[in-house]
Amino acid sequence: MKTVDLRSDTITKPSPEMRAAMAAAEVGDDVFSEDPTVNSLQERIKTLTGKEAALFVSSGTQANQTAINAHTQPGDEVICEYNSHIFNYEAGAPAMLSGVQLHPLQGQAGVLDLDQVVQSIRSADHHFPRTRLICLENTHNRWGGAIYPLEQIAEIRKIADRFGLKMHLDGARLWNASVATGISIAEYSRYFDSVSLCFSKGLGAPVGSVVAGSREFIDRVHYYRKAYGGGMRQAGILAAAALYAIDRNVARLKEDHFRTKILAENISALPDFSINPALVQTNIAIFEVMSRTKSAPDYAEELSREGIKMIAFSAKKLRAVTHLDIDDSDIDFVIEKLNKLYRS
């Protein structure tokens, strides 16, 4: 049976051409910083982000958490958004590994209100934790791939400067934001002390993320990467996939965005579901189920029996994500099935 897997953009499998690039990679021991392919990926990321240094790491979680660790001291407080990946999906690592406390703020489409940010910054009183870092997420996963407006980022940077705070960008899907807006990775990165980027989502590499920042900061990230068990040896095989992905799979993300929009438009026409297609900006569509009797997991199971895989994001919400391994015929298949099942 044909199946179309829209659960996540992490499910892509490396293409034969990507595997060939991996097989041909020159390698060395990256713990000694002697893997030429890893070094060339890190150089490439320095140029792309406009930062002094970059470090290849094993996952987006490792990228964010080593960065948080390198920016903070135990007991510090980190401002983030309530629905952010760092707060929800990283296994409590800020508390476990950095000994910091998160201060989540409820954003709108993932975007923090400026007054709210200012009010959440602690004053110098020994009762309070020390506010040290602000983390933003672009695009925002749980807010349906929403893009952070650059002007808002610039305003938050001004606040951070005023209070002497650092800023980290969880840019797991910054490629999507950049392709959708035409704003370069470097322009987004300019406002942050550190940036993480992921290769194993829309870009289709099997493994890997990267952290970029100042030389002195990346030196500390390197130390924490080792401590977390993230020192990899002949990692050039993986870096080759990332380099291949940067060359071939970035510009095509706009196809994912287009297909997600088409999907959202069709879903919005069905009485069972509610979504505003105008708010779908990139490759993620989150839509609500309207039924009083059927939950999102019920729909996910029903769809899965028909060969369509989506994630129930909550009791009321389903998430569909397009990616490299989804083409127009897959979207046609999904729309046809949805219409057959739910068109009244």
Using Cβ positions, the residue closest to ligand PLP within the complex turns out to be 60
**Least CB distance to ligand PLP at residue 342 (A):** 28
- How many residues interact with ligand PLP (rule CB under 6 A)? 11
Q: How far is CA 144 from CA 19, 41, 81, 257, 320, in A?
A: 31, 29, 14, 12, 9
Binding residue for ligand PLP, selected from 137, 193, 256, 330, defined by CB under 6 A: 137
Distance CA 272, CA 316 (A): 11
Distance CA 10, CA 186 (A): 24
Binding residue for ligand PLP, selected from 42, 49, 59, 322, defined by CB under 6 A: 59
**Least CB distance to ligand PLP at residue 297 (A):** 21
Binding residue for ligand PLP, selected from 37, 61, 72, 322, defined by CB under 6 A: 61
Cα-Cα end-to-end distance for the chain: 25
For every residue of 25-51, DSSP letters joined together read -----GGGT--HHHHHHHHHHHHHHT-
Query: Which residues have C-beta within 8 Å of that of residue 87, sequence separation ≥ 6?
Result: 80, 81, 102, 104
**Least CB distance to ligand PLP at residue 46 (A):** 21
Q: Which of residues 142-201 bind ligand PLP (CB under 6 A)?
A: 170, 172, 198
Distance CA 224, CA 226 (A): 5
Establish if 208 lies at the interface with ligand PLP (CB under 6 A).
no
Establish if 60 lies at the interface with ligand PLP (CB under 6 A).
yes
Establish if 85 lies at the interface with ligand PLP (CB under 6 A).
yes
Establish if 81 lies at the interface with ligand PLP (CB under 6 A).
no
Q: How many CA atoms lie within 13 A of 2 on its CB side?
A: 9
Judged by the rule CB under 6 A, the positions of this chain that interact with ligand PLP are 59-61, 64, 85, 137, 141, 170, 172, 198, 209
